Amino acid sequence: MSVILPAGYTGEDKANIDPAGQAPLYGGNVLMHICCGPCSLFCIDEFRRLLPEAGLHGLFANPNIHPYDELLRRAESCAKAADYKHLEVDFLPDYYRAGWEYFERSDKGIQVQGEADIERCSMCYSVRAELTAGYAKRHGYDAITSTLFVSPYQNHDLLKKIFAEKAKEHGLDFVYIDFRTGFRKGQAEAKEIGLYRQKYCGCIRSVRVKQK
């Protein structure tokens, strides 16, 4: 399913939706936030299939990833995937370890190991959506989207809400495509071409959960 929310939309606006998979023509230049190389593979192909008239450029902006060596490793994987798919990608060097390491929930509650923390994930989505929308606005793009929408492990409703809000704040369109049907296909392709495939989400808290 593809959804296009135009810049300046309100909650009562009718989104441009086509559940049949044939998105209406959209000719804007779209900046795609890329979380990692493997997740980008299917997203790039599916975006080009659904929106053949749109321009597409990538942005690697993931300051949540810990440790720093892991950030560099995922950036390298992203570069390899982009080269494989003939996509131009820009890379932001931002790295915010402290924001995640010292994160406190508003209710001062303690996160249960192995369970997602909605507030921390919200911060993570917001930081990356803001970096993407801000970059898109400064460099003349018309819309944003993200490869995070391919993951069945992400909170899609929250992710979609945050990216839509950030796009609106910056006067951009928001292109939502539910890429989840291609998650396994993308992972298989990543394995086939030898891309690094990480075993945890990214932030320091998710590292600690993995180590338990």
What is the tens place of the pLDDT at every residue in 169-200? Answer: 999 999 999 999 999 999 999 999 999 877 76
Given this model, what pLDDT does residue 24 score? 57
Q: Taking 70 as the threshold, does the pLDDT of residue 141 lie above it?
A: yes
Measured CA to CA, the distance from residue 167 to residue 145 in angstroms comes to: 9
pTM: 0.82
Q: What angle do CA 58, 66, 118 make, to 5 degrees?
A: 85
Convert 82-101 to b/e letters by CB count within 10 Å (16 or more is b): bebbebebebbeebbbebbe
Q: How many CB atoms are located within 10 Å of the residue 190 CB?
A: 23
Sign of the CA dihedral with 140 first, then 179, 3, and 161 last: negative
Alpha helices (runs of H) in 102-182, residue ranges in sequence order: 118-138, 156-169
Q: Taking 80 as the threshold, does the pLDDT of residue 5 lie above it?
A: no
Tell me the pLDDT band of 4, cut-offs 50, 70 and 90.
Answer: confident
Domain that holds residue 118: 2-211
Q: Taking 90 as the threshold, does the pLDDT of residue 86 lie above it?
A: yes
Whose tokens are 């793009």? That residue is 141
The residue-averaged pLDDT of 132-154 equals: 96
Measured CA to CA, the distance from residue 77 to residue 23 in angstroms comes to: 29
Sign of the CA dihedral with 7 first, then 2, 15, and 117 last: negative
The domain tally of the chain equals: 1
CATH number at residue 51: 3.40.50.620
Given this model, what pLDDT does residue 12 score? 46
Tell me the pLDDT band of 20, cut-offs 50, 70 and 90.
Answer: very low
Tell me the pLDDT band of 66, cut-offs 50, 70 and 90.
Answer: confident
The residue-averaged pLDDT of 56-83 equals: 92
